[in-house]
Amino acid sequence: MKANERKLLFWWLVMLLLILGVITTITGCNSGWSVANLEITPSDNQDTFYIVIVDQDSTTHWYDKTIYIEENYCFKHHIWEDVRKKSE
């Protein structure tokens, strides 16, 4: 392969990558998230499978559908935690 042919091939590759980058930027990525071509909205981002409790030190805990005043499994921390109702 001659030097001129290498330069021509190099510039064709550069142009191809530039065109693909522009097309991807224009048509592909937008400001939001999408999964399987479905737009994800803020309402989809809520933890609907768990009851989320925020501790007094701002730690979040994810419990199953019902919270008991005893040990509950925290799905975020993967441990059993003792839950007690705070007296006001």
Q: What mean pLDDT is predicted for residues 53-82?
A: 85
Backbone angles phi, psi at 39, to 5 degrees: -75, 135
With 70 as the cut, is the pLDDT of residue 51 above it? yes
Cα–Cα distance measured from residue 58 to residue 60, given in angstroms and rounded to the nearest whole number: 6
> What integer pLDDT is reported at residue 80 of this predicted model?
92
Q: Give me the amino acid identity at 78.
A: H
How many other CB atoms are found less than 10 A from the CB of residue 61? 20
pTM of the predicted structure, to 2 decimals:
0.42
Please state, rounded to an integer, the average pLDDT across all residues of the chain.
Answer: 78
